[in-house]
Structure formats: structure tokens, C-alpha cells
Chains A and B, each alone.
Chain A
């Protein structure tokens, strides 16, 4: 935890969140991460409303046919350097929806992913750890 505070002094990542074809369980765990028990806002992590202000795109859900173009567009609107976190098994690989028409699979079918956080749903601790790994990458000069 101490190292996160250190990193966030260097850089306070602004996050854009997007859900694509998901069941909501990962969403509410991501939201729980912002709520008082886990409270990542104290690390300077802020949820933002527009792709143009965001450093990190956090995505839950398997990609569906309709959301694929929208996901791509949002990714393209983000300024460089940008990073993507796939939250939940569905975002990593399509998860439980194998064989469902309309589901393409994990989000890496559409955009490049930096950090995969599996879980069905993810645990908030895993989300924090995933974000910490990304911050390490940022600090290490990870480029896009």
C-alpha cells in the first residue's frame, strides 16, 4: 500500500470505466473499490467521464457484437499514453458466455490489454492489485 501512495504522487491515474456485455457483478465490485471500505480515491485514482481525460480504461464484461465498435472508438479517443485493464474473467477471455451468439470473447479481441484481472466476479483486492501493477508499469515508463 505504501508504494501505491508513492507512485500516485508521481502520477494520479484518471480512469474511464466501460462495461461491455456483462452481468454487473464486476461493475459493482469496481464501484465497491471506490466506496469507503476499499476507497482507492485516497490514492488519487479518479473516475472520469470522458475518454479524452482518461489515462486508464477499465473494462468489464465480454465484448458483444454491438459494443465492439464502441469500445474501439473509446480507446481511440483516449490520448497517449493509455492503458487498458481487463477486469473479470469475461473481459479476459469471454468467461462463462462461451457459445453465446453475440459474444465475441475477451476484450483483447478488440483492443490491446495491459493488465488482466481474472475473477468471476473479481475481488476488490484483486482490482487494487491490478491497478498497482499498472502503476508499476507506468512508473517503469511503460509506453503506448
Chain B
């Protein structure tokens, strides 16, 4: 065990101190990697906290995963460490598959705008409050209710 706490451990400690009652999982898996799981209603608070406390302004991307029982969303946030985007804090949350909505974070991290649109396009998750949640990458004539990254979606014969 090192004498001084690493920045990753410090971030984890601060998250625990401030959000301990809502965090369901928190781990430092290696250098520059923190994973924290929170309920969807706490997500915006966590991102605001990372921004205000640690000056985290870079969102690398949002990963959406169909876990069958729910959708998992991972917000990969780069937090300053030795350099300004050194540490990846991966903030995870789960939303119900039959009601996939999530508040948008574009007002906190403007760089998230296209990532939310992408997740919306491919998984059908609705980000409430997003300024324009239009199609991003699927073609214009793609059917409205087909979401290719869902596990139960099968490509149709053309």
C-alpha cells in the first residue's frame, strides 16, 4: 500500500464521502481507472461534482449496452490527474428496458450532444432535455422502432 493516496483513490474517496448513500459500486481497477455505479437520478449530480470539484470538462463518450434486463449507460469522463485528461472515471447507471429515458447532460458537458444522439439512434434511449435528439447515423429511411444495438434486434433480409 503506497504512502500517499493516488489521485484515483482520492477521487474515489471523495465520491464515497459525498454520494456514499446512492453509490452501489465503486472501484479503482488500476492506474487511471475509476468505476462508479449510481442510480439514474444521481447521474447529473455526480457529473456536476466531478466538474466543480475536479474541473472535469471532457466526456470521452457514452457507451450504451443492452443488458437484457436493463440498459446500462457508461459515461466515460476524463478527470485531470497528472495531465488534464489523465484519469477515466466511468460513471455507470442502469435504466429500465421498458422505459428507457434518461435526463440529458448536455448543459453540464456540451461535448455530450452527439454521444447522446448516437445512443438514442442505436438503442432507443430518450435523453430528456436534449436540444435536438434527431437521427445521427442511421439512414433517413430507417424504421422508427428498430434499434440495431439491442440484443433482440435481428437484421432483416434486404
Contact A101 B139 (CB under 8 A): no
Also in contact, A65 and B148, with CB within 8 A (given A101-B155, A104-B158): no
Q: Are B139 and A66 neighbours in the complex by a CB distance under 8 Å?
A: yes
Interface size in chain B (residues, C-beta < 8 A): 4
Interface centre among B139, B148, B155, B158 (most CB of A within 10 A): B158
Q: Chain A: which residue is nearest B156 at the CB level?
A: A101
What residues of A have a CB within 8 angstroms of the CB of B139 in the complex?
65-66, 102
Name the interface residues of B99-158: CB closer than 8 Å to any CB of A: 139, 148, 155, 158
Neighbouring B residues of A66 by C-beta, 8 Å: 139
Give the docked Cα–Cα distance between A102 and B138 (Å): 9
CB-based nearest B residue for A101: B155
B77 CB to nearest A CB, Å:
30
Given contacts A65-B139, A104-B158, 6 further A-B contacts (CB under 8 A): A65-B158, A66-B139, A101-B148, A101-B155, A102-B139, A102-B155
Q: What are 8 residue pairs bridging A and B, where the CB atoms are less than 8 Å apart in the complex?
A: A65-B139, A65-B158, A66-B139, A101-B148, A101-B155, A102-B139, A102-B155, A104-B158
